[in-house]
Structure 1
Amino acid sequence: MQNTEDRVQDSDVLVFRRYADVAVIARDPAFMVKDADWFDEHLPGWRQSTGMRLFGTHMLFHNAASHQRLRRVMSPAFRPARLRALSDVLRTTVEHQLDLLEKRARGDVVDLHALLTLPVTRSTGCALVGVPEEDGPLLYELVQPLLALLDPGTGLAAVTRADRAAATLRPYLDRLVAERRATPRDDLASLVAASLGDDEAAAALALALAGGFDTTVTLLDHAVNGLMTSPARKAVASGDEDAIDAAVNEALRLASPIGLITRIARREVTVGDVRVPEGQEVMAWIRDAHRDAQQFPDPDTFAPERPASRLLSFGSGPHYCLGAQLAKLEASLVLPAVLRRFPRIAPFGSPRPNDRVNVRGWTHFPVVLDP
């Protein structure tokens, strides 16, 4: 449920949780993201951290023209023709993983996260970037400590883990960029290798891997979980596009893969009835905004039939997620496939969450395929 306090002062940060306020902060150009200049002023020494330097310089930490420049480089990888090519990879992986699941004994409890949703998103993310599928498990583990840097109040231990991961990931990405400069292919790595320097290219690929893996697997896990006990499951299993879209949107609302965003006010601005001074840091909780009962009645219930509303899960405005259509494509193929193949699939016990605050998802999703 939505917290009692819609807006609070947390140390030097203004925190907003109400949908109307969070939507303004996400969309209003009066707010900017933290960028390298802001980090230099407020976090001196951050450039000495290999993890922060790798994951703190990608597109999401750039504003205005700099952000648009990086976005233009990456956007061709998400155009319709490229998504159609990725859909072929996706279908093959989905059917392969479902075939493996069908070999399990009737009544077995299986981890759907480990055996379906994560392998599918890893495979698709690897194809998007242009790395071998067999490298997916390693790359997935390496980006996890980087994602923890997005949590509020990140401490020294988290930075140390991110540095350790970046010490392995950065050379891998540098080799990939060098290979694509010598021999380009039809992948994201070739796009960034041709247009960006080493640091920006590595940061762009780290972002693509982290986003492609974790945000999408969270969407898939929660969509399947909601549909298992929803009347909408039959329509989704039949391939009804409207039903699939509604289920995807409801999963994004109920469990937004990105829990919060932070912004800096470029100038004095009013959000709701709160005056936000120029230079003020604000934290806007998307996860709470999506459970604002004034915007979403009965907010804790998975209800795909609820009237459509503008969600904030993929951001808004200039920072709207480039990979949103790819994530929805994955869901549109995975959801009907698993419900068709296992029409009696049912939850078993409670999923196990990861230990992050912002990019929060599950590490274990137990189900019974044929109870």
Structure 2
Amino acid sequence: MDLDAYVAEHGAEWRRLASLSRRRRLTAEEADELIALYQRATTQLSVVRSRLPDPALVARLSRLVLVAQGRLTGRPGFSWSTVGRFFSTSFPAAVYRAWPWWSAVAVGFCLVAGFFMWWIGDHPEHAAGLVGDEAAADIFESRFVGYYSEYAAPSFAFQLWTHNAWIAARCLASGVLVLPVFYLLWQNALNIGVTGGVLAAYDRTGLFFSMITPHGLLELTGIFVAAGVGLRIGWAWMVPPPELTRGQAVARAARTGMLVALGLVGLFAVAGLIEAFVTPAAVPTAVRVGIGMLAWLGFLGYVVVFGRRAVAEERAAAERVTATP
């Protein structure tokens, strides 16, 4: 087979295929033509590889076939519809499926933090043993309240955003090992419990909750979600479903973890803004706490409504596929 003759014979088809592949919109006739030319080009590429192994022509046809395939299957890239599907379906569904895990984490965290708050509140001398005499006194005097207005609000919000996102990322990344997640939760529960306990010992419980509630509800919920999903990954490794291998179970749980991690970036951004601008604001406590409650209830409602709907749609689709003969 003569190479030049083969190129001359099919060159017009290849140019036409390249032209159609570059067009943003195609008529029905052009779409049919694109499919036909694509099918011919794949056959011609196989012929060239087997009978005329010319590197330049093989590379040219390979690029042509890949571009045409991308035009037929859809070009990957940024799409507002993809972003919309993520926030309306993928993220809330992932959080909703994992609600038993992060709810259990929330209950355990609150019990540990509450115990330390009660214990330190009744025995303030123990705070010195946990955080030191100087730290205990500093918490009571000014550190707790001053922390929220120590830095400029915009930079403080960014610092909080990255800090909380980093904690969540560590919970998700170390979930397969389980113990690091419990260690991170323990550290945070101990910190909150001791701080609240010291303030309670000096009859400043109201101050503690008035400062931590506006941002803490949303912020801690994000940490609970990350930890719960991380522990779910570890459980998938320890007790994989019967129909999956251990690696497949971990991979599926890890994909969910990546979805959750991406969605929590937005949640922590909102929590950081509340903590930087609302928590230290010179407005009545009821206003600050109300803003935090609205943000928290809004997130929970979003997860329940959108997540439950997405999961129900997935189940219905799976049932239809199963019922199809």
Normalising by structure 2, what TM-score?
0.30
1 or 2, which has the higher helix percentage?
2
Compare the two structures and name the one with the higher strand fraction: 1
Q: Give the TM-score of the pair, scaled to structure 1.
A: 0.27
Larger Rg: 2
